[in-house]
């Protein structure tokens, strides 16, 4: 587990897809109350649970988009007694009850803001802004792999996923956009927020200049 800032940690897990390792990022946010939000479920081990509980009391589980269901059941089984927040109809994907991400819990008001990505109904991604550390947390909006990756990983990400430079939007995400105007409106609202770091669901943390790099990524594919 790596601490990025006060009350903010990440832990990276393997996640394979067609022979390439996409990886999976668990983000842990400690709220002003001391309670924890766990963003993006993972293949938890007993040692992980000890590390997590040492930081505070896990109080909310979050999946931020419909396609992030791989470890949802494992997260639910690991923490069966706390609220599981997810996009609309996520419960139909995973076959267990979930609560909506919006409106966000009142206890989050000082720490976390939630932005719904418009115009992408198949994904219904929601973005999280950790206000105290100016950190944006995304699922699949952006990918950020090593620029010097080689072999199949490079070929897959560049030609199959269609990401020409990092951080960038994947071809799949772009194909899922059904209302470009609604998508642009949500991105304009997001870019008006105050953030610098970006934690991505797959790949490396963007430690600085995140807003400028997100704007560049959107411009690269004509979405801003």
Q: Say how far apart CA 224 and CA 218 lie, in whole Å.
A: 5
- pLDDT confidence of residue 91: 96
Q: Which of 48, 2, 17 is nearest to 145 (CA)?
A: 17
CA 210 to CA 200: how far, in whole Å?
Answer: 11
Strands 2-5 and 8-13: antiparallel
**The pLDDT of residue 90:** 96
127 SS3 class: strand
Query: Which pLDDT score is estimated for 156?
Result: 72
Grouping H, G, I as helix, E, B as strand and the rest as coil, residue 102 is coil
Q: What is the pTM of this model?
A: 0.94
Angle between helix 210-220 and helix 180-191 axes, rounded to 10 deg:
160
Residue 167, preceding peptide bond in cis (omega within 30° of 0): yes
Q: Tell me what pLDDT residue 45 has.
A: 84
pLDDT given for residue 15 in this prediction: 76
pLDDT at 22: 77
What is the mean pLDDT for each group of 10 consecutive residues in the chain (224 residues)?
97 79 91 97 88 96 94 94 96 96 96 97 97 97 84 70 88 95 97 98 95 97 92
pLDDT at 159: 65
Collapsing DSSP to helix, strand or coil, 99 comes out as strand
Say if strands 99-100 and 84-86 run parallel, antiparallel, or are unpaired.
parallel
Structural domain harbouring 49: 2-104+113-220
Say if strands 2-5 and 84-86 run parallel, antiparallel, or are unpaired.
unpaired
Query: What CATH number does the domain containing 47 carry?
Result: 3.60.15.10
Q: Judge contact between 116 and 102, C-beta under 8 A.
A: yes
Q: Indicate the number of domains in the chain.
A: 1
Place of tokens 């419909």: 66
């Amino acid at each position: 587990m790596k601490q990025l800032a006060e009350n903010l940690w990440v832990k990276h897990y393997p996640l394979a897809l067609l022979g390439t390792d996409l990886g999976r990022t668990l983000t842990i946010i400690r709220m002003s109350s001391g309670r924890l939000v766990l963003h993006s479920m993972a293949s938890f081990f007993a040692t992980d649970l000890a590390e997590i509980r040492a930081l505070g009391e896990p109080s909310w589980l979050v999946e931020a988009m419909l396609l992030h269901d791989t470890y949802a059941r494992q997260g639910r089984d690991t923490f069966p007694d706390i609220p599981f927040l997810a996009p609309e109809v996520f419960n139909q994907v995973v076959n267990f009850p979930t609560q909506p991400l919006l409106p966000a819990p009142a206890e989050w008001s000082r720490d976390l803001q939630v932005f719904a990505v418009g115009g992408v109904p198949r994904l219904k991604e929601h973005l999280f802004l950790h206000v105290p550390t100016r950190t944006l947390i995304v699922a699949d909006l952006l990918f950020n792999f090593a620029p010097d990756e080689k072999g199949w990983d490079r070929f897959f990400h560049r030609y199959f996923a269609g990401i020409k430079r990092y951080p960038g939007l994947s071809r799949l995400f772009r194909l899922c956009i059904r209302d470009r105007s609604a998508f642009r409106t949500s991105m304009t609202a997001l870019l008006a927020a105050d953030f610098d770091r970006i934690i991505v669901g797959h790949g490396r943390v963007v430690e600085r200049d995140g807003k400028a790099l997100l704007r560049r990524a959107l411009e690269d594919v004509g979405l801003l």
